[in-house]
Structure 1
């Protein structure tokens, strides 16, 4: 989708905000204070670091000035300062928990904690952790303040219409080619014998940890089939509102600290959980997920079932939607006729240029209402299954139409309204906040009036 110049500025802003942490550059001069915003400072090295982050993320820095980067850093400090002033809470425990997760990923990628410390040019582990802690806490304060500014902003249909009518004709957004797709999923039946093999293995792991002092974390790295948590030794921090399946939470919240559950089953397979800490309403735990293996005979039987379903649809005995409701074994799509929701928008539309490549390859050659061949697929932790896919609707790239593309126009209009609110908030807070710009940066031309409070 193409956007107006004002909206493009939003995406540049977001992109700069989410750049990842990279190694400190070798400084050619003593690190100085470029600016002060409330209780926060911006160092020369912070601007150097941001420039390196842009390049490391494949973003050309040729047209980005140090003044522009300083402006973004000033905004972050302004958010963080007023988050503290407004008593927005980011607990040290929350920061440490997130930091531990990120450190686990870093160690997995680089090789050891010592290498991480060296990579980031810090004196020792404590020095690096203090540095990383401060960065994470400030970023979380920035996010909390940003949410406070925009979360309650709503937009009416009339406001959306007025926004759309004011867009010059040559700047009307272009909506990319989109598809609505549906699927029918058939899963092979897992034998009781295979289930018992997995249960036995999980019990052996539990016994080894309890009786021989083996590390549950190491066991999780070696055996769990949950790829998301494997690098962290099966670690999760959850509360009762966390979006985990009910069976998992039911077991987790019955355990005491240090206790390991018996094997139990969810839609993903069999688990054991070890609770490490109970922190009020939250639990820190590790788990191991293992799935029973599917026999060749069971796979063949499942393939035959879905081929028969496909034949009935082709023979007009059933519509695709009726077949999905009657036979599909995918709980998320079964009841709405197999329609797949876009996980990014929660709408039944996928923009072709932004689709997951594997899904795009499966539907790119399909015409509307055509049914795919039988596809063998696999989801880690859930196992293999067969599916057929159809394209319910295709729309070609076109200029945005108010009636047909209302939801997308509403999204753009809401972002525009949020930008306006952020701009108003920023202007007010700059006037209320102690801000000092130093040295060469006093000559910068900023989008916001950061020099207004400068003390001569």
Structure 2
């Protein structure tokens, strides 16, 4: 039976994770209000004296309420994201909203802190994205049926704060769950042989990288050019314009070199050290990273976050240096083929890639943090390089050009694992991940059972006839 069967076995018992990630963004659309416990459904009379419900409170969780219109907004949000809502009932959607409110309510009880500056930063990112998708900020305001951008920002701030509280509370529950090797073993033993998951074909890959040397003269050319940019900007030129015209960073060039970052943002250490050492309005001296040479201009400092612009220039590599690197990697390959040295030994002593050198050139899968790459999920560029190689066959050297930085590589498949039924010894990491997910699901289910008992929860009107997975009605 496929892996999905194992993963879904307990999810079917708790709606919390069934919808948790699929609908997480729907929290953006959910209205948040703080109430005492007196809200009622609003109705008007039609010409036939029948009552027609317009909107109103349908549920209360602690200090939070849920409106009937929140369900409609959640449907709209899922549809706008390209999801299907045909099999989702209003009762199921209400169950998801109840979960979100309970997470947020309990986060406040547990003194989980979400700062205003944190929410405002999130809001700026979301609004920029939304304005880009819809065409303008005015269209975003109109889409959400608000009278002004200020009114929308106030509304949206509350929504994002609740969403952040929800995610932090969920993270706190999951982070406290740990699993022992004994529990992993017991989990595996409970899976019937006929239901063991099937894992796809995988391979382990290693590489050797030779980087052409850049002359001191070329480095100095780039440094002088960046110093020239700095002087012109200090005299009144636009940093953003310079970045658009000259920066060799494809990720930020179109936006004038703009980045927003904090200490945890995954930038290289040298870049972060310089960025966080600058005062607001200051421009750095040229400095070097693995990508080339940069200058940074700090536009704003907002608490632990900074907004900056940078210009990246990569020194040119001479034809002579390229040929030297090409000859060097070809010679290394010949020595390996002639069995003078192993691939792993060559990687440790001769490769220029420090990230893989210590592991004998072995690549680590960034998604799983182990050495295996599943073929169906492998990066297309890597797959194209290894798909035709046999086990322990070394590829011919080839050149890569990443953001203007040329380097030569050769790759070897050190281990090929065919599609197979789960094996405890061979697939321990994957099995551990499955066992941990199951334990996390149980922990969340237990948390809901306990907190529902402790929290004031009220469901009004027709929704009391819903059949919920969680005991919201406290029967």
Q: What TM-score do you get using the length of structure 2 for normalisation?
A: 0.85
Question: Secondary structure, in 3 states, of the residue corresponding to 1:388?
Answer: strand
Number of the residue aligned with 2:428: 406
Q: Alpha-carbon deviations, 1:305-347, whole Å to 9, x = none? A: 2222222222222211111112211111111111000101111
Q: Identify which range, 276-285 or 57-66, moves more after superposition.
A: 276-285
Q: Identify if the C-alpha distance between structure 1 residues 45 and 323 changes in structure 2 by more than 3 Å, giving closer, same or farther.
A: farther
Structure showing greater Rg: 2
Number of the residue aligned with 1:352: 375
Q: Alpha-carbon deviations, 1:174-214, whole Å to 9, x = none? A: 222111111111222223343334323323332333221x4
Candidates 169, 172, 179, aligned match of 2:196 = 172
Number of the residue aligned with 1:436: 458
Q: How far apart, in 2, do the equivalents of 1:218 and 1:101 lie?
A: 22
Q: Give the C-alpha shift of residue 81 in structure 1.
A: 1.0
Number of the residue aligned with 2:351: 328
Q: Identify if the C-alpha distance between structure 1 residues 56 and 366 changes in structure 2 by more than 3 Å, giving closer, same or farther.
A: farther
Specify every segment of 5 or more residues in structure 1 that has no aligned partner in the other structure, as ranges. none
Number of the residue aligned with 1:131: 155
Q: How far apart, in 2, do the equivalents of 1:231 and 1:430 lie?
A: 50
Candidates 180, 200, 210, aligned match of 2:224 = 200
Candidates 15, 37, 48, aligned match of 2:21 = 15
Number of the residue aligned with 1:237: 261
Question: Secondary structure, in 3 states, of the residue corresponding to 1:452?
Answer: coil
Specify every segment of 5 or more residues in structure 2 that has no aligned partner in the other structure, as ranges. 31-51
Match runs of 1:90-109 below 5 Å: 90-109=114-133
Candidates 321, 324, 328, aligned match of 1:298 = 321
Question: Secondary structure, in 3 states, of the residue corresponding to 1:35?
Answer: strand
Candidates 402, 406, 420, aligned match of 2:442 = 420
Candidates 189, 211, 220, aligned match of 1:187 = 211
Q: How far apart, in 2, do the equivalents of 1:114 and 1:293 lie?
A: 45
Question: Secondary structure, in 3 states, of the residue corresponding to 1:436?
Answer: strand
The answer as to whether partners of 2:205 and 2:411 remain within 8 angstroms in 1 is yes
Q: How far apart, in 1, do the equivalents of 2:383 and 2:136 lie?
A: 38
Q: Identify which range, 230-239 or 328-337, moves more after superposition.
A: 230-239
Q: How far apart, in 1, do the equivalents of 2:178 and 2:312 lie?
A: 42
Question: Secondary structure, in 3 states, of the residue corresponding to 2:473?
Answer: helix
Candidates 270, 275, 280, aligned match of 1:252 = 275
Number of the residue aligned with 1:2: 3
Number of the residue aligned with 1:65: 89
Number of the residue aligned with 2:38: none
Number of the residue aligned with 1:338: 361
Q: How far apart, in 2, do the equivalents of 1:80 and 1:395 lie?
A: 44
Q: How far apart, in 2, do the equivalents of 1:388 and 1:419 lie?
A: 43
Question: Secondary structure, in 3 states, of the residue corresponding to 1:427?
Answer: helix
RMSD: 2.9
Question: Secondary structure, in 3 states, of the residue corresponding to 1:184?
Answer: strand
Q: Give the C-alpha shift of residue 35 in structure 1.
A: 2.5
Number of the residue aligned with 2:341: 318
The answer as to whether partners of 1:104 and 1:231 remain within 8 angstroms in 2 is no
Candidates 396, 404, 411, aligned match of 1:373 = 396
Q: Identify which range, 203-212 or 142-151, moves more after superposition.
A: 203-212
The answer as to whether partners of 1:225 and 1:290 remain within 8 angstroms in 2 is yes
Q: Identify if the C-alpha distance between structure 1 residues 124 and 311 changes in structure 2 by more than 3 Å, giving closer, same or farther.
A: farther
Q: How far apart, in 2, do the equivalents of 1:40 and 1:325 lie?
A: 58
The answer as to whether partners of 2:11 and 2:441 remain within 8 angstroms in 1 is no
Q: How far apart, in 2, do the equivalents of 1:128 and 1:250 lie?
A: 37
The answer as to whether partners of 1:22 and 1:49 remain within 8 angstroms in 2 is no
Q: How far apart, in 2, do the equivalents of 1:215 and 1:116 lie?
A: 30
Q: How far apart, in 1, do the equivalents of 2:27 and 2:222 lie?
A: 40
Q: Alpha-carbon deviations, 1:272-302, whole Å to 9, x = none? A: 1223344566544333322223344433332
Q: How far apart, in 2, do the equivalents of 1:272 and 1:367 lie?
A: 45
Q: How far apart, in 2, do the equivalents of 1:38 and 1:435 lie?
A: 6
Q: Identify if the C-alpha distance between structure 1 residues 356 and 20 changes in structure 2 by more than 3 Å, giving closer, same or farther.
A: farther
Q: Alpha-carbon deviations, 1:14-37, whole Å to 9, x = none? A: 43244478999xxx9844434222
Q: How far apart, in 2, do the equivalents of 1:193 and 1:328 lie?
A: 24
